[in-house]
Structure 1
């Protein structure tokens, strides 16, 4: 009876360990999938979408060959404000990791605007959602105040 319980316990532990190992490996290799929803303060704007990273290269600096981001940004205010989805893309250039911004804007109340873009040799993709006046580009306050959400980080 004691041997049967011990074997059953070992089988249970082994099964749990294998399942946990498989889930951990799956999460570590997950370079694609949905993200969001993320909101501006007060839920004045919302962004949601998907990200796919292909061809990860770990030779010198870990990067994805191509990252594709698509989604929707939505303005949830009535008036002169717009919803902004601002992305900061860090990419490889030689042995350097510079970054650039990419943004999408929606100024129509609760009518989401779709966007999609792709970049090559990407190390990291971050997102910030803002709600502010209509302009040609996001304000310095949107770009530099608050916290960026990491959507992708090459490992």
Structure 2
């Protein structure tokens, strides 16, 4: 009876090792750079501004908290008004800090030239999520609180 239990235990341990090891190994792997993914076009209220572009992520690590080691966002923002207003595309980037927290920062790109799109590119590290919003408002050094806090953010990237 004890020999049968020993063989049953050994068989169970072997099966667990065979099936669990690849799953653990694949969970800890880091993916290579992915192909560029298009985002947008997103319009502001009244279609007074528009933004679109692409996103490339590399080094997605799913071992602990899923983040991309590097995310590169490129795109263009269009001002579709002939008056003194400007088109804004605002990004909210949530990233992981060394202690595991998930704060966010914002980047805003402004274009005040009707008919001429403005190109932009930026890269961030340890990215968990990227969201965007497009606004059209008066020329200023940064987007207004109404632009940043009003309306809905569109998810461009979410690490899974």
The interval holding the TM-score normalised by the smaller chain is 0.7 to 0.9
Per the alignment, residue 138 of structure 2 pairs with 133
Q: 2:103 aligns with which of 74, 87, 98?
A: 98
For structure 2, the residue ranges without an aligned partner over 5 or more in a row are 1-33
The TM-score with structure 2 as length reference comes to 0.77
Residue 67 of structure 2 is aligned to residue 63 of structure 1: yes
Segments of 4+ moved more than 4 angstroms: none
The TM-score with structure 1 as length reference comes to 0.79
Alignment of 1:6-155 (within 5 A): 32-93=36-97, 94-155=99-160
After TM superposition, give the deviation of residue 104 of structure 1 in Å. Answer: 0.6
After TM superposition, give the deviation of residue 95 of structure 1 in Å. Answer: 1.0
Matched residues in 2 for 1:135 and 1:39: separation?
19
The SS at the match of 2:141 is coil
Matched residues in 1 for 2:115 and 2:89: separation?
15
Count how many residue pairs are aligned between Structure 1 and Structure 2: 127
Task: Give the superposed CA RMSD.
Answer: 1.4
Q: Higher Cα Rg: structure 1 or 2?
A: 2
Q: Does the C-alpha gap of structure 1 residues 60 and 153 become closer, same or farther in structure 2, counting only changes over 3 Å? A: same
